[in-house]
Structure formats: structure tokens, C-alpha cells
């Protein structure tokens, strides 16, 4: 957290120093952060204006009616002071090298769901896809990829309509039952009524674009973590990136395209680890990912031992 102190007025204000400290909700600080980013991308504001506006929102500065009667010189002094103070917003930028030159970009990668609820009745997934089934993930991923490729807002609406669903009835009782698996939203399966998705879409299409963008960033951050993260299982860190790595000789030898997520579903169902295709599809996403890691790791260990003998 950053801290702003105004000694003569005995004011001390704490405000976020990175995106994970921003407040949640459709009207929260992260949603506002996304709104300003979209304004910058569209060319409506500059980087300095972004920093100043974001700083004003974070510390909750309000304009007094007296401000409108200040001289232009005094307003200029206030503006300059705001720009000076807003430099602390640099902590919301990441620096990396591009073509040998340092480049700054907005902090966007997060696995935290800053929009837990939309349209009053529809609830989203927990942080890091903790309560997501494999079926929900693969269905949502189809629309996530479509939006990433085409930038069509209708694809983003479909993604949100899959992720955000009503809560289960009598949830306060279900939480105390032995079979409760932590899922608060109504289940999503391959047999879910598509009319229900269309019904939710009628409300979701009216969401502000910056709220939809915040949900997209959440899914994108979780997807990046699935592909390159290092979760801790039983006290040991595992490298999920090995699931997606393909040996060089296979890359050169094979010209056939992998069928991707659907192929994972068929492969696991054939092994009968989780049961049939339908049963595998209903498993929690992270259970499937850990099993995939085990399979890939075992295969690599076998290849390593076999290679060492030849």
C-alpha cells in the first residue's frame, strides 16, 4: 500500500500500490482501472492524464465548488501538483525489454476475479478457477480464444454468459452437506440448456465494456497461470508449462494439428481415471490439470531413463 500524508491538515491516506490491492465490484477500483486503460487505448487520454485520473480516484479526491472560482494560475499549480503526486502510479506499470529497449506496460496479469457478480443475480468463478469444472473451462476457452482473435464483443458476451450464473438454491444448507464441493453457482455441463445462456446474454450485453474487459483480463490471467504457473501440491512446486511443451523432433516430424482441449477430454476418459467422458468433463479443472501433469511427468521420466541407456 502507498501512503499519502498531508502534515498541516493531519491527513493520512492509504491507497493501493498494485492491482491485487484494488477493490472489487462493477464500481470498484479495478473496474475503474480498466475503464481508464480503454480510454488510453482509444486515444482519449494520455499516459499522464491516466496517472492523474487514476490517482484522483484512488485517494478519492473531490472537487470543491470553490475550485471553479480559482484563477487559471492557481488551477495550473493544482494540476502540476497532481501530476507530481501521480507519479506513484508507476507501480501499476511493468517494465520489459523490446528490441533491446526498455518498454513500460500496464499491469494486467492477475488470477483474482475483481468482478464477483454482475447483473445482480449472476455470480462468477472464484479466484484462480478454483471452483471451475473442466467442461466450463473448455466451453469458456472457446469464446475466450474467439474474442482474442477477432475482438468481437459478442464473443466476449458469450464467454461471460458461460462463466456467470445464478447461485444454487438453498446454498446455505448445501454448504453443510458432506457432498458439497465448494461450487456456489448452478452447474454447467455439456447438456446445459443453451436457452439459459441466451437468457443471461440479454442482460450481459448491457454491461459496460470496461466491466467485460475486467472479466476478460481475469480469464486471461488464469489461462497464463495454467500454462506457465508453479502451484504448490503437497508442499512441492510443480511446473505446469511441461504440459504444453512439445519435443523438438515431434514439432518437426508432425504436420497434424492437435485437437487441443477436446483431445485432453477423450484421452483422460479412455484412461478411465475419472470415468466416462461425461464424468471426466464434470471433474474440477485443477484435478484434471494435476492428473495431466502426472501423466506428462511420468512419460518424460520414462523417456529420460530410456534415452540414458541408448
What distance in Å separates the CA atoms of residue 82 and residue 35, rounded to the nearest whole number? 20
The whole-angstrom separation of Cα 218 and Cα 53 is 23
Task: Please tell me the pTM assigned to this model.
Answer: 0.83
* DSSP symbols for 11-53: EEEEE-SSGGGS--STTSHHHHHHHHHHHHHTTSS-HHHHHHH
The residue written with cell numbers 523490446 in the block is 98
pLDDT average, residue stretch 50-65? 80
- Alpha carbon dihedral 304, 257, 136, 218, in 10-degree steps, equals 80
For Cα atoms 249, 251, 252, give the angle at the middle one, nearest 5 degrees: 65
The model's pLDDT over 242-253, given as tens digits with 9 standing for 90+, comes to 777 665 555 444
Name the more confident of 25 and 243: 25
- The residue extents of the domains of the chain are 2-106, 117-305
Q: What is the pLDDT of residues 250-289, one digit of tens each?
A: 544 444 444 466 566 656 656 666 666 677 778 888 888 8
> Average per-residue pLDDT in the chain?
81
Amino acid at each position: 500500500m502507498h501512503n499519502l500524508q498531508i502534515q498541516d491538515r493531519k491527513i493520512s491516506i492509504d491507497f493501493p500500490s498494485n492491482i491485487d490491492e484494488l477493490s472489487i465490484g462493477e464500481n470498484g477500483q479495478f473496474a475503474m482501472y480498466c475503464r481508464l486503460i480503454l480510454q488510453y487505448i482509444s486515444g482519449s487520454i494520455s499516459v499522464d492524464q491516466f496517472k492523474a485520473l487514476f490517482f484522483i480516484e484512488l485517494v478519492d479526491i473531490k472537487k470543491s465548488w470553490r475550485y471553479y472560482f480559482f484563477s487559471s494560475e492557481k488551477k495550473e499549480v493544482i494540476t502540476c501538483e497532481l501530476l507530481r503526486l501521480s507519479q506513484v502510479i508507476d507501480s501499476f506499470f511493468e517494465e520489459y525489454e523490446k528490441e533491446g529497449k526498455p518498454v513500460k506496460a500496464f499491469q494486467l496479469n492477475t488470477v483474482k476475479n475483481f468482478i464477483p457478480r454482475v447483473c445482480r443475480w449472476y455470480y462468477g468463478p472464484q479466484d484462480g478457477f478454483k471452483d471451475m469444472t473442466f467442461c466450463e473451462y473448455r466451453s469458456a476457452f472457446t469464446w475466450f480464444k474467439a474474442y482474442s482473435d477477432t475482438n468481437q464483443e459478442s464473443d466476449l458476451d458469450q464467454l461471460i454468459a458461460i462463466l456467470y450464473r445464478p447461485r444454487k438454491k438453498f446454498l446455505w444448507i448445501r454448504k453443510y452437506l458432506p457432498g458439497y464441493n465448494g461450487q456456489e453457482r448452478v452447474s454447467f455441463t455439456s447438456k446445459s440448456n443453451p436457452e439459459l445462456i441466451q437468457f443471461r446474454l440479454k442482460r450481459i450485453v448491457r454491461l459496460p465494456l470496461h466491466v467485460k474487459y475486467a472479466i476478460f483480463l481475469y480469464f486471461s490471467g488464469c489461462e497464463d497461470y495454467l500454462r506457465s504457473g508453479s502451484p504448490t501440491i503437497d508442499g512441492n512446486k510443480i511446473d505446469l508449462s511441461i504440459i504444453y511443451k512439445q519435443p523438438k523432433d515431434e514439432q518437426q516430424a508432425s504436420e497434424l494439428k492437435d485437437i487441443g482441449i477436446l483431445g485432453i477430454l477423450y484421452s483422460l476418459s479412455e484412461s478411465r481415471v475419472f470415468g466416462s467422458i461425461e464424468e471426466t468433463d464434470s471433474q474440477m479443472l485443477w484435478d484434471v490439470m494435476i492428473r495431466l501433469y502426472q501423466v506428462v511427468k511420468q512419460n518424460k521420466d520414462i523417456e529420460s531413463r530410456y534415452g540414458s541407456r541408448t
